Chain A
Amino acid sequence: MQTPEHSPLFAALASATLTAYRNAVIRLPPDVLKTIRQAAAAEKNEVAQGEFANILANIETAERLGVPMCQDTGVPVIYLTLPPGVPLTQALYNAVAEGVRRATGEIPLRPNVVDPLTRHNTGDNTGTGMPAVHVRPGDRFTVTVLPKGAGAENVSRLVMLLPSQVNKIEEVVVETMLKAEGRPCPPVVLGVGIGGTSDGAMALAKEALLQPIDRMTDFEHQLCDAVNKLGIGPMGLGGSTTALAVKVKTAACHTASLPVAVNVQCWANRHAIVEVEW
């Protein structure tokens, strides 16, 4: 019998992971690019206009040269959807890790993954619990790569509000950027997870970043406008766009809880999906 490491499924998933990683770090999704261009065109502050000009020139350069747009190629956050015919086995996790290792050498990616205590770098962007793999059932077999840089991840936060503080959600979101200032490379995209459990809210906040950012609900618009009133602007140098978009995901929660998680993402809201063909 074939070992999982030599099965067609293993090879196809490793290869799809590599392809999705390459797409994610080199070019932005169309909705993200469109939103950045609109914000750039609307910006009045001269320093901020310069920052946007650099961002747009950078996007063009990365595409033209086929290189990562940012040197912080992040840590690998991976979402898999499995159709009924694909069993969830350890081999799937191993295949994703193999794709990450190949991506690190071939694209190349900066080796960012270290042991949390010794700070020893594994050199290939894998380690215990890394890549972070999230699995869902689905109609198609897909792999989504969301490379997450540290500047933005480091200012993400969780606030356990009281159930009576629904009207404080906006304050939590705005305060997150007030504290973050220029550190997460604004103009940011904010993923907001509301409800669920403490860990579940954080996961929702990150998943919210995968939604199209060129459309927002009224509630998301309200949060986005409130953040932009801070005037932090691109890179914390001032300007009218601090957040390109706010995306919200909710889950049912305990009657005595109101978890609010904000996952901060830099202007490079990188993610790419590839269908696994085997």
Chain B
Amino acid sequence: MVTGTLLQLHTPLGDEILKLKAGDRVELSGLVYTARDEAHLRMQKEGIPFDPKGAVIYHCGPVVKDDRIVAAGPTTSARMNDLSGFLFDHGIRALIGKGGMASTVREQLRGRGVYFAFTGGCAALAASHMTLKGVHFPDLGMAEAVWVIELDRLPLVVGIDSQGNDIFDAVRENAKKSFRQKMTRERA
């Protein structure tokens, strides 16, 4: 891997992310906050428990033992499709997850932020780039709490950029087209 040549990003993020293009590979360092379904619902009700300006949300429910991150790969972001809009209104600039998100989120990100994909299942690799710094909403349990994590050069790819380009959507449209062609051939 040519990690040495990748673009380096640090939180809190600013307007530098508006230049990113879908498909760009980057490495991210600095604080990120994990949040899944329950944490989003709690934040909508009680407010965001950290400074959201330039912050990054990681769709992840880690395995934590003895104040150490053991495993922390991404969870399926699509579950948060209808739960994420308020985050950008409060200044959050990026999400990290897997599988991409709905067109509504793509529009919410336009001119404001990006969606990074981190390879699903790569929890041990992720943990080797992480230091645990704290936790919010611990009553939600290990998987659903908001864990404060410091990243050291986590390798990511831009899945959705701030100009509306979305790799997942392009791949989806191609797959649909290929499937339609297959069906047409078989009916013929």
Contact = CB atoms under 8 A, between A and B. Distances in A.
B131 interface: no
B70 interface: yes
Interface string B84-128: 000000000000001110000000000000000111111111111
Contact of A174 (B1, B141, B182): B182
B188 to A, nearest CB: 14
A71 B99 contact: no
Contact of A61 (B75, B100, B120, B125): B125
B59 to A, nearest CB: 11
Closest 6 CB pairs of A and B: A185-B120, A62-B124, A58-B125, A58-B122, A54-B119, A71-B71
Contacts of A266: 120-121
Interface string A248-271: 000000000000000000111000
A53 interface: yes
A68 B100 contact: no
Given A68-B70, A174-B179, A238 B167 contact: yes
Q: Which among B78, B100, B170, B183 has the highest number of chain A CB atoms within 10 Å? A: B100
A215 to B, nearest CB: 24
A270 B119 CA distance: 17
B99 A181 contact: yes
Report, as a range, how many residues of chain B touch the other chain. Answer: 35 or more
A266 B186 CA distance: 29
Contacts of B175: 178, 181, 230-232
B105 to A, nearest CB: 14
| B contact face: mostly helix, strand, loop, or mixed | mixed
Contacts of B100: 181-182, 236
B99 A72 contact: no
Given A50-B155, A183-B99, A185-B98, A55 B65 contact: no
B44 interface: no
A235 B73 contact: no
B176 A178 contact: yes
A210 B72 CA distance: 26
Contacts of A57: 1, 122, 125
A110 interface: yes
Contacts of B171: 181-182, 231-233, 236-238
A71 B98 contact: no
Given A182-B120, A183-B99, 11 more contacts: A50-B25, A69-B123, A73-B71, A109-B63, A110-B62, A121-B141, A174-B179, A175-B179, A182-B99, A182-B168, A185-B98
B8 interface: no
Interface of B: 1, 23, 25, 60-63, 65, 70-73, 75-76, 78, 98-100, 117-128, 141-143, 155, 157, 159, 167-168, 170-172, 174-176, 178-179, 182-183, 186
Contact of A68 (B71, B128, B159): B71
B119 A55 contact: yes
Q: Which among A46, A183, A268 has the highest number of chain B CB atoms within 10 Å? A: A183
A27 to B, nearest CB: 11
Contacts of A237: 117, 157, 159, 167-168, 171
B140 to A, nearest CB: 10
A175 B183 CA distance: 11
B22 to A, nearest CB: 9
Q: Which among B65, B120, B123, B141 has the highest number of chain A CB atoms within 10 Å? A: B120
Contacts of A229: 178, 182
15 contacts: A47-B25, A58-B119, A58-B123, A58-B125, A62-B123, A71-B72, A110-B61, A110-B62, A110-B63, A178-B175, A181-B175, A183-B78, A183-B99, A230-B178, A235-B117
